[in-house]
Each structure stands twice: as structure tokens, then as C-alpha cells.
Amino acid sequence: MANRDIRIILAGPRGKMGASARNLIANTAHFSLVACLDHKPATETHFSEGEVPVYTDAAHCFSEVEADVLIDLTTPRAAKNHLETALDHHLRPVVGTTGFTDDEIEQLREKAETKSLGAMIVPNFAIGAVLMMKFSQMAARFFDDVEIIERHHDRKLDAPSGTALKTANLISGVRAEKKQGHPDESETLEGARGGQVEGIPIHSVRLPGLVAHQEVVFGGSGQTLMIRHDSIDRGSFMPGVKLAVETVMTTKTLVYGLEQIIE
């Protein structure tokens, strides 16, 4: 695939992730940025004027610009619309936002397969975070009790994070649901024990100064095991973005999560 120039439309180019993605595209020989999709018109942007066109309407953009891949780094609501619209215009979407339900993912997968197009929804582009999820799934075969603590910057819109939900789902696949803690446990403050996924508590922290961090804590007789990943800079996500873009060019279905393509 390195011998083929991949033409990319970037949605959400002005955010911190968008800036990192623009840098990735500029410094990858076989990537080229052909357009941006933003909620502000080109006259209000400062990054791409005179370089690539900036559109505010997805259908208009995808109809006018010849491209191979859409990288979407927007919000859950916008990303859902962009993903479907991209498939309608024979464009392969790589979506880096969360908030899709299982039913929505299945419907989008069917649509991608009908059109023989690759698509990816990636809760976390950091390779280390993907390995954390895989290691947690492995550990869950030997530890019945586990809790997840995820920490993100205070501008994040959804809680818990897609990575935490994905981790809990992977663990649930190898672990029977159980009620953890004391059988008569009660919350004197609602939510103190976190949200529950198949009996797994998830705790969300939102603070300025954080980027993306997650700790999976297992407990057993006389021992604990902690598996932790920290993204301290958004550059940590770019190798995963590059891998997703290259992979989506060769698949003909929707893939949910980088763990599906990392052996």
C-alpha cells in the first residue's frame, strides 16, 4: 500500500487531534490531504487556506472531492452522519470518536459489506492502549474481580470512555458476570461504585492536564494486578491512525477497534 498514494479528507482538523493528524499526513509520503470538513467555513480557518479546500457540508465535500479515506476526529453525533455519508459516496471512513451502539455498529457493518468497502471505528488509536486491552482480556481468565479507572481531559464529552467500554466488553467475553464486593454493599452516595458493565465497575475522572489514561485493576486472593496505559501526548495516537488508514484500504467490512487487526 506504500506504493499507492492515499487521498484523505480530514474531518475535525482544528482540534488537537486534528492538528496531529494533519502533521501525520504531511509527513507520510503516501498520504495526501485533499480536503477538510469543518463546522466553520474556510474564511474562518487559519490552517489550510490556500492549501486544501474546506467544506462545512459532508455530502457536498464527498461529491466534489476525489478521495479514498475519510479520517473523522469530530464528535459522536457528527461522526455517525459522516460515516454513513462517506459510505454512500464510496469513501472509506476511519472514525476516531466513540458513542456508537452495538446495533449501530452492526447496521454500519452491513452497509460497508454491501458496498464492499472498508470502514473502521477506533475507540483508541494508541497501540499501547490496544495492548492494555488485550492483556486485560488475558488476565481476566485468571482473575474474577476487576475494576476499570479511566482518566481523561475535561473537554471530553462522553463518559465512560470508549476504551473503558471496549475493555469491559473484551473482559466480559471471557469472564462470567458476577456481583463484586460485599453481598450487602450499598452506596451512601449514588454512583460511588461507578457504572456497571456485566458486573465490572467503571470509574471516570475528568480533569484539566490529563490526556488519556486507563488502569485496569484485578484482585485475587492475596494479590492484585494492575495494567495501566498513559497517553501523555496526542502524538501517541498517530501510529494507530496510520495503521487504520492503511488497513481500511484493503478490507471490505467495518472493523471496530485496533485490537482486531493487531495480532
Asked whether residue 216 falls in the same domain as residue 133, the answer is yes
CB 80 within 8 A of CB 11: no
CA distances to 146, 176, 225, 263 from 142, rounded to whole Å, are 11, 12, 11, 21
- Residues 117 and 166 placed together within one structural domain of the fold: no
Same domain, 251 and 121: yes
Same domain, residue pair 115 and 212: no
* CATH number for the domain harbouring residue 66: 3.40.50.720
Task: List binding-site positions for NAD(+).
Answer: 12-17, 96-98, 122-125
Q: How many distinct structural domains can be found in the chain?
A: 2
Note whether residue 245 is domain-resident.
yes
**Same-domain pairing of 102 and 150:** no
165 shares its domain with 90:
no
**Tens place of pLDDT for every residue, the chain, 263 residues?**
445 699 999 999 988 889 999 999 999 999 999 999 998 776 666 565 457 899 999 999 999 999 999 999 998 889 999 999 999 999 999 999 877 888 999 999 999 999 999 999 998 899 999 999 999 999 999 999 999 999 999 988 889 998 899 899 999 999 988 889 899 999 999 999 999 999 999 999 999 999 999 999 999 999 999 999 999 988 889 999 999 999 999 999 999 988 888 87
Q: Is 156 a catalytic residue?
A: yes
Grid coordinates in use for 25? 499526513
Residues 132 and 202 reside in one and the same domain = yes
Catalytic residue among 152, 203, 213, 229: 152
pLDDT given for residue 47 in this prediction: 60
Q: Is 152 tagged catalytic?
A: yes
CB proximity list for 195: less than 8 A, separation 6 or greater? 160, 201, 202, 204
What is the structure's pLDDT at 49?
A: 47
Q: Which amino acid is at 121?
A: I
- In this structure, what C-alpha cell is assigned to residue 147? 475494576
**Residue 247 placed within a domain:** yes
- Report the CATH number at residue 209: 3.30.360.10
Q: Which of 111, 115, 134, 156 is catalytic?
A: 156
Does residue 1 lie within any of the structural domains?
Answer: no
* Bind-site residues for (S)-2,3,4,5-tetrahydrodipicolinate: 153, 162-163
Both 114 and 136 in a single domain? no
Residues 106 and 140 in one domain: no
Tell me: do 133 and 107 sit in the same domain. Answer: no
d(CA 248, CA 236): 20
27 in the same domain as 116: yes
pLDDT computed for residue 15 by the predictor: 85
Quote the pLDDT of residue 45: 62
21/112 same-domain check: yes
Q: What residues form the annotated binding site?
A: 12-17, 40, 96-98, 122-125, 153, 162-163
Neighbour count for residue 231 (Cβ, 10 Å) = 20
Domain residues for the domain of 208 are 127-232
In this prediction, residue 51 carries a pLDDT of 78
